[in-house]
């Protein structure tokens, strides 16, 4: 008998993604492991990156600012206007190769950097350059002569924490400012937190579980903190996200240090989170930057749907049409809903002779880091991912996103007979993995049954957009789609 877990599609009413995984939270680790990670080993090989294709100005035209008090802020047309240090300007021009600030940078940086350094809630499109806002904020506010944690940034996944610290180290290369990445490590590489030395680094970026443990064990002092950043802040403060950890961390910092500036960044803030977040910072005078909901769905990335009869047909569409016709358009991320779905699709594509890799939360941390590095270095072209990479992951060469499974809210409840609801925020973030900083991109949503139809139309309704259909076996349709997206000539 063959192994029971072969790649044949599951019974008609069940997709691979419906065979639920046990654990949902990919990044938090409750074990007290020591968080020392050599991020340098993960550095990206720039030479392998191709130069920017398909570049437009990122669209952040309609950010609305609500400022508090009578501090006048003018947005900055150049980085020089921000009174950044010479070392930071060198980092921006020489290392990052940036020429001028994007809209969100121009608007938010004066608010972040200028006294009285108010708290800030900032929403801006995916790929519009939010990382630079808070990285410059952290680097500018650190006193280089003081060897103690002065800036802390908390991110929902280890991949995002690593990516952010890489940006920070590159941008801050000439500043001499020290940093540490606080993320869960594989057990075999770690010594207990209680036995590690206290953190001396001036900037710490990490995931909530590890940061909370470091604080509990008094290894991360907060008395000198000047700035606390939450990247993907809506997820960090959502009930079904990291709300408890984030609030505990905030309270602990407030206890010792009521002047710490808090920055909350995300592309999405739904109404519940928006109200909650506003209440958090409301105690002090603060600034807000928001984008209207209907302006959030990115025009730069074209959205398509392909109706298919079953899961096998999804694989056929990916193989014979999307891969075939989109062969030279750049890198691709295929999003699936569960670890099981990731494993099965990976196996199926490998059996068909494709070189793909897949990442999901159950892998060893080393393995996750390796897969991300290979993809960032351009050694792999196709990456299958659960929503562990749905947010924040920045790889400019990604021009195609495939939603093999649509993002679903309340997956477990649905199985018990609940009306399916799409996770529109996750959808927006997945789409945002393509079209970084105004680049072109396309998203193909694979629609297989009644449930998918409902989810897709709810997504369309939510964003007030029509997602164009591409016929399953029409080479012409795929070509036209990629042309319209600006990816084929």
User: Given the rule CB under 6 A, which residues bind ligand ADP?
Assistant: 98, 101-102, 105, 124, 126-132, 394, 396, 436-437
Written as six digits, the tokens of 204 are 């710490």
Q: Beta strands 468-469 and 408-409: pairing type?
A: unpaired
Tell me the per-residue interface mask from 105 to 134 with Mg ion, x by CB under 5 A, - otherwise: -------------------------x----
For residue 445, the 8-state DSSP code is E
Q: Which is nearer to ligand ADP, 49 or 347 (CB)?
A: 49
Residue 418 and residue 132: Cα distance in Å, rounded?
41
Q: Kindly state the smallest distance separating residue 96's Cβ from ligand ADP, in Å.
A: 6
The answer to whether 392 contacts Mg ion (rule: CB under 5 A) is: yes
Of 277 and 470, which CB lies nearer to ligand ADP in the complex structure?
Answer: 277
Question: Are 482 and 323 spatial neighbours (Cβ–Cβ below 8 Å)?
Answer: no
Count CB-CB contacts under 10 A for residue 49: 14
Q: Which is nearer to ligand ADP, 209 or 438 (CB)?
A: 438
| 149 φ/ψ angles, rounded to the nearest 5 degrees | -60, 120
**Beta carbon of residue 105, minimum distance to ligand ADP (angstroms, whole number):** 6
Structure tokens at 47: 């030479």
Q: Per the structure block, which two tokens stand in for 425?
A: 């925020």
**Contacts with Mg ion: how many residues (CB under 5 A)?**
2
Q: How far is the CB of 126 from Mg ion (least distance, A)?
A: 7
- The smaller minimum CB distance to ligand ADP, of residues 248 and 274, is found at 274
Residue (130 or 286) nearer to Mg ion, CB: 130
- Per CB under 5 A, which region of 256-264, 317-325, 360-368, 388-396 contacts Mg ion? 388-396
**Residue 436 interacting partner from Mg ion, ligand ADP, none (CB closer than 5 to 8 Å by kind):** ligand ADP
| Lookup: tokens for 308 | 């298919």
Q: Closest approach of Cβ 167 to ligand ADP, in Å?
A: 7
Shortest-Cβ-distance residue relative to Mg ion? 392
Nearer to ligand ADP, 130 or 368 (CB): 130
Q: Which is nearer to ligand ADP, 98 or 414 (CB)?
A: 98
- Smallest gap, in angstroms, from Cβ of residue 131 to ligand ADP? 3
CB of 107 to ligand ADP, least distance (A): 13
DSSP per residue over 143-161, as a string?
-TT--S--EEEE-SSHHHH
297 binds, among ligand ADP, Mg ion, none (CB under 5 to 8 A by kind): none
Contact 401, 335 (CB under 8 A): yes
DSSP letter string over 405-434? S--EESHHHHHTTPPPEE-HHHHHHHHTTS
Taking the least distance from each CB to ligand ADP, the nearer of 160 and 402 is 160
Q: Which residues touch 194 (CB under 8 Å, ≥6 apart)? A: 32, 217
127 binds, among ligand ADP, Mg ion, none (CB under 5 to 8 A by kind): ligand ADP
Distance CA 412, CA 200 (A): 43
d(CA 392, CA 438): 15
Q: What angle do CA 436, 441, 446 make, to 5 degrees?
A: 125
Binding site for Mg ion (CB under 5 A): 130, 392
């Amino acid at each position: 008998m063959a192994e029971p877990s072969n790649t044949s599609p599951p019974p008609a009413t069940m997709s691979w993604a419906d065979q639920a995984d046990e654990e949902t939270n990919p990044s938090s680790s409750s074990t007290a492991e020591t968080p020392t990670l050599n991020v340098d080993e993960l550095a990206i090989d720039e030479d392998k990156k191709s130069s920017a294709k398909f570049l437009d100005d990122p669209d952040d035209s309609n950010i609305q600012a609500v400022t508090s008090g009578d501090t006048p802020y003018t947005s900055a047309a150049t980085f020089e206007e921000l009174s950044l240090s010479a070392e930071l300007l060198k980092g921006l021009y020489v290392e990052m190769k940036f020429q001028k600030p994007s809209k969100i940078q121009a608007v938010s940086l004066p608010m972040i950097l200028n006294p009285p350094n108010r708290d800030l809630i900032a929403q801006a499109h995916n790929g519009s350059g939010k990382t630079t806002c808070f990285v410059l904020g952290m680097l500018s506010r650190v006193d280089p002569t003081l060897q103690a944690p002065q800036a802390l940034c908390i991110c929902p996944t280890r991949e995002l924490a690593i990516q952010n610290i890489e940006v920070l180290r590159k941008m801050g290369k000439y500043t001499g400012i020290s940093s540490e990445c606080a993320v869960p490590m594989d057990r075999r590489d770690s010594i207990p937190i209680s036995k590690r030395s206290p953190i001396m680094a001036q900037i710490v970026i990490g995931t909530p579980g590890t940061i909370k443990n470091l604080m509990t064990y008094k290894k991360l002092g907060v008395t000198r903190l000047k700035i606390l950043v939450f990247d993907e802040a809506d997820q960090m403060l959502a009930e079904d996200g990291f709300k408890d950890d984030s609030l505990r961390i905030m309270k602990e910092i407030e206890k010792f240090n009521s002047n710490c500036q808090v920055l909350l960044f995300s592309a999405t803030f739904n109404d519940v989170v928006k109200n909650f977040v506003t209440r958090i910072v409301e105690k002090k005078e603060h600034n807000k930057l928001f984008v209207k909901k209907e302006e959030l769905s990115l025009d730069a990335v074209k959205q398509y749907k392909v109706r298919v009869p079953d899961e096998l047909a999804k694989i056929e569409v990916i193989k014979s049409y999307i891969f075939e016709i989109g062969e030279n358009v750049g890198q691709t991320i295929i999003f699936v809903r569960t670890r099981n779905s990731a494993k099965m699709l990976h196996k199926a594509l490998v059996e068909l002779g494709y070189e793909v890799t897949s990442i999901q939360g159950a892998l060893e941390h080393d393995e996750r880091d390796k897969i991300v590095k290979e993809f960032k270095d351009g050694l792999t072209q196709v990456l299958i991912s659960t929503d562990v990479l749905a947010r924040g992951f920045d790889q400019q060469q990604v021009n195609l996103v495939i939603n093999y499974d649509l993002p679903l809210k309340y997956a477990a409840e649905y199985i018990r007979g609940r009306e399916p609801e799409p996770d529109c925020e996750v959808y927006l973030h997945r789409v945002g993995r393509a079209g970084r900083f105004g680049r072109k991109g396309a998203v193909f949503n694979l629609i297989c049954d009644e449930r998918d139809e409902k989810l897709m139309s709810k997504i369309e309704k939510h964003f007030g957009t029509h997602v164009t259909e591409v016929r399953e076996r029409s080479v012409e349709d795929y070509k036209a789609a990629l042309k319209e997206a600006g990816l084929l000539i």
